[in-house]
Structure 1
Amino acid sequence: MDAYRGFVMTLMAAEILQFDHLHEAFPDSGFWAFLAHHQSHVAWAGCSLHDLIQPSFSFLVGVALPYSIASRVKQGQSFSVQLWHAFRRSLILILLGIFLRSTHADQTRFTFEDTLTQIGMGYTFLFLIGSASKARTAWIALGVILVGYWLAFLLYPVPNGIAFDYSAVGVPADWPEHYTGLMAHFNKNSNLAWAFDTWFLNLFPRENPFLFNGGGYATLSFIPTLGTMLLGLQAGLWLRSGMTQRDILKYFLIAGAIGLASGILLHVTGICPIVKRIWTPAWVLFSGGWCFWLLAFFYGVIDVAGRRGWAFPLVVVGTNSIAIYCLVHLIDKFIIKSFYTHLGHGPFLVFGATYEPLLIGFATLAIFYLILWWMYRRNLFIRI
């Protein structure tokens, strides 16, 4: 689990390598095109490796919950104490997400679509469901979330194509990602989640009125994100079930296949598109399938096959996921500036100016890792 989390956080931190810069410099290179694609989010429907970072992080929160509950029960904590801890953790995650989003802004940016705030808004509900005595409660809750969220979007009317000004919400009228039929209810910045944010986000102090999110991201995505965490919760319950390792691995592989097939089926039949930016029900299933398979890979190699040594660097990152998340958002520019201040540009120009962002990115990642390694050696772990 720590290795998988470390893999995910490394992917997030690796944005600093700027593969898109090299793709622009070498537009005919399939190699850089491939890396640039998987280091960026798809425009709307579909999936890249980068798109799996947030669902993986959310999924792993669910995986860890049964272990957390068992540990607190063993310590003799009452349900009310555990509930208070869950609520406090939710609040801290929400506030931390807002803080990190506001670090380079002139005033507090009250947005709720980033990874930490989305998890925080759903975590208390996850705890309540995870604390239920019956395991089927999580499956029932997942079904209610997926079907209910899908129906809620369908009940919001599709804007009139002639009367609605898509350019006013940052979407070209001829954008190729526009859908018709049922899937038109999930079009960018003209759906239920967008309408909610045009009311909700304007309740907070803002420099300018909120009209739309440029990427189409939305606050209400925390509801289906809870669905992703519930899939992780089920994975965590299987890990603690007492089943053999091979049976657990089999369950992960089957669950992954079902999730992927279900998500693709909903998309190709025109029932619901696979869109991460508004976390559609099809995305919950599709990305959840990948999360199960990725967990199966790390579990199979590390726990079942016993091959652990190669994963140590990932464990160092994964055991301090909040620390690396904050480091990336707070001091990346400081580290880069410090390199240039003390070393100049010369060391990063050895392969030419084109590769300078890549080399300075690797150097910055190395500093991040050394900080985390120092913390790991001294048993310093940031927990919320």
Structure 2
Amino acid sequence: MQRVASVDVYRGFVMLLMMGEVLNLSAVSRALPDSAFWHMLAFNQSHVEWQWFSLHDMIQPSFTFLVGVVLPYSIASRKSKGATFGSLLKHTVKRSVILILLGIFLRSMHADQTYFTFEDTLTQIGLGYTFLVLLAFCKPRTQLITLGVILIGYWLLFAVYPLPDPNFDYRAVGVPPNWPYNMDGFAAHWNKNSNAAWAFDTWFLNLFPREKVFLYNGGGYATLSFIPTLGTMILGLVAGNILRADLEPGKRIRLFLQWGAGLIGIALFFHFIGVNPIVKRIWTPAWTLFSGGICFLFLTAFYWIIDVIRKDRWSFFLKVIGVNSIAAYVIADGGIKTFFQRSLFIHLGADFDQLFGSAYATLVSGALVLLLEWLVLHWMYKKKIFLKI
């Protein structure tokens, strides 16, 4: 089956944002505190503390959204090779389990024992992937009804969970007493480490062997986020169906824009009236809609540039990353990055990163690490080595 080039480039862009963490723009911003430029870049390479979003917060939803986009193509390809529903389902369950275990493995690399956590991107996708594939065989109406049930049900779970009493010890769950990002009123149902998903994890995660009792996640992330994450994948499935449909490019673009603007508008409405805040870390329904809308707009831009007007010469760098996204993820999140960092200091000297001064040290070392990571992916591309699950 012919690949959709814009999807590979979009995925490459997302993975580049993740791999680019090695540049550590926050360190540059701290060294140059009066620079609004570096402050802006640093902000968009960091996750926001709770409400709203940065560019960096769009990595996980984009990666998740694209899982849904490519699924119709993947199923069609396997069917064309004679795959039955049973064989597809067997492969799907296997892939789900591998994604879950790979996510746990990567999070355990620097621990003394297996670190059972389920908020990693790969694990979250794995938890919902089998349901997504089953939905891919359903009618679009069923898919959208399921999306609605997921979002409303997840909203209700938080809304009916009781708010903490006035004597609740926020410090015991990693939240400073006067943390400025805590919300008041009805929106307080979605505050950090005092919500329904946090309560679930204090039970669920302690069922596994742990170095110490789980009390809270420092970032406020939660296992149950896989439920609305499935909603993001369903939105990607909607986009994938539009891409595969027999439509003129202009019609596809109009549909993408309508979906993008509509989802963002609905999410902003719920956010500002206080019904549901936009919080990525617990993947609120408003975040599902808001980030999904942005994903539609990203896909629109890449599709128009790459597949419609075919201005794609610049995109090879991103394509090399995008076609090997699992390899890129492991390189960025695993020990290869650390190996490159150590090797540079061994072979280039302890002060090689001071080339442009101490303020830009992480840019120098990070850029070289990023180049080495890309060269590995380029070698795999040339050798036609593509990691698949």
Q: State the TM-score, normalizing by the size of structure 2.
A: 0.97
User: Partners in 2 of 1:221 and 1:82 — Cα distance?
Assistant: 26
Is 1:9 aligned to 2:33, yes or no? Answer: no
What is the aligned partner in structure 1 of residue 4 from structure 2? none
What is the aligned partner in structure 2 of residue 159 from structure 1? 164
Is 1:292 aligned to 2:302, yes or no? Answer: no
User: Partners in 2 of 1:283 and 1:142 — Cα distance?
Assistant: 13
Instruction: Indicate which of 318, 325, 330 corresponds to 1:326.
Output: 330
Deviation at 1:228, TM superposition (A): 0.3
What is the aligned partner in structure 1 of residue 123 from structure 2? 117
Between the two proteins, what is the percent identity of the paired residues?
Answer: 58
> Which SS does the other structure have where 1:368 is aligned?
helix
1:186-240: CA deviation from partner (whole Å, max 9, x where unpaired): 1100000000000000000101100000100000000000000000000000001
What is the aligned partner in structure 1 of residue 356 from structure 2? 351
Q: How does 1:56-67 map to 2 (within 5 A)?
A: 56-67=62-73
CA RMSD of aligned residues (A): 0.8
User: Residue type matched to 2:297 in 1?
Assistant: W
Q: How does 1:79-90 map to 2 (within 5 A)?
A: 79-90=85-96
Structure 2 gaps of 5+ residues are: 1-6
Is 1:367 aligned to 2:372, yes or no? Answer: yes
> Which SS does the other structure have where 2:79 is aligned?
helix
User: Partners in 2 of 1:244 and 1:181 — Cα distance?
Assistant: 47
Structure 1 gaps of 5+ residues are: none
User: Partners in 1 of 2:266 and 2:65 — Cα distance?
Assistant: 18
1:81-113: CA deviation from partner (whole Å, max 9, x where unpaired): 100111100000000000000111111100000
> Which SS does the other structure have where 1:109 is aligned?
coil
User: Partners in 2 of 1:50 and 1:342 — Cα distance?
Assistant: 32
Instruction: Indicate which of 310, 313, 319 corresponds to 1:315.
Output: 319
What is the aligned partner in structure 1 of residue 191 from structure 2? 187
Q: How does 1:1-384 map to 2 (within 5 A)?
A: 1-132=7-138, 134-160=139-165, 162-328=166-332, 329-384=334-389
Residues matched between the structures, number: 382
User: Residue type matched to 1:101 in 2?
Assistant: R
User: Partners in 1 of 2:167 and 2:188 — Cα distance?
Assistant: 15
Deviation at 1:347, TM superposition (A): 3.1
The answer on whether the counterparts of 2:32 and 2:359 sit within 8 Å (CA) in structure 1 is: no
User: Residue type matched to 2:54 in 1?
Assistant: S
User: Residue type matched to 1:69 in 2?
Assistant: I
The answer on whether the counterparts of 1:2 and 1:315 sit within 8 Å (CA) in structure 2 is: yes
> Which SS does the other structure have where 1:270 is aligned?
coil
Detail structure 1 runs of 4+ shifted over 6 Å in the superposition: none
The answer on whether the counterparts of 1:60 and 1:232 sit within 8 Å (CA) in structure 2 is: yes
> Which SS does the other structure have where 1:22 is aligned?
helix
The answer on whether the counterparts of 2:70 and 2:240 sit within 8 Å (CA) in structure 1 is: yes
The answer on whether the counterparts of 2:201 and 2:222 sit within 8 Å (CA) in structure 1 is: yes
Q: State the TM-score, normalizing by the size of structure 1.
A: 0.98
